[in-house]
């Protein structure tokens, strides 16, 4: 099973012919390639799997995904209580 996690694009740039973004997953920021979602812009939510944004999602879909991940026990519980999903995203546990 593959798992893609929603994150919010906070910066994007062109580097060596690739669009690369800084994507925020709660308090964690990682780089992800945007080549598969050329329409994605700063402020958009994208589903990221192994460093590649696969699709754009709206804030509501991102919130639903975090709800499912939380129900599965894959999110830090205390982070869900601190801030509502949608305002900022909780940290997913990274393997």
**Nearest residue to 46 (alpha-carbon basis) of 26, 84, 93, 54:** 54
What pLDDT, on the 0 to 100 scale, is given for residue 18?
97
Whether 87 is in a domain gets the answer: no
Q: pLDDT band for position 76 (50/70/90)?
A: low
Mean pLDDT of 44-57: 97
DSSP secondary structure string, 23-61?
Answer: EEETTEEEEEE-TT-TT--TT-EEEEETTEEEEEE-HHH
Whether residue 83 has pLDDT greater than 80: no
38 occurs within a structural domain: yes
The CATH number linked to 24 is: 2.30.30.140
Average pLDDT value for the chain: 81
For residues 58-87, average pLDDT: 69
How many other CB atoms sit within 10 Å of the CB of residue 93? 10
Number of residues that make up the chain? 95
This prediction's pTM: 0.73
Q: What is the C-alpha to C-alpha distance for residues 25 and 16, in angstroms, rounded to an integer? A: 25
Task: Count up the domains in the chain and report the number.
Answer: 1
């Amino acid at each position: 099973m593959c798992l893609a996690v929603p994150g919010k694009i906070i910066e994007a740039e062109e580097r060596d012919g690739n669009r690369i973004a800084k994507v925020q997953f709660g308090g964690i920021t990682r780089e992800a390639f945007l080549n598969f979602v050329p329409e994605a812009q700063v402020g958009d939510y994208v589903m990221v799997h192994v460093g590649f944004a696969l699709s754009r999602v709206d804030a509501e879909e991102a919130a639903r995904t975090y709800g499912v991940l939380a129900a599965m026990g894959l999110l830090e519980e205390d982070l869900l209580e601190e801030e509502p999903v949608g305002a900022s995203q909780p940290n997913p546990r990274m393997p």
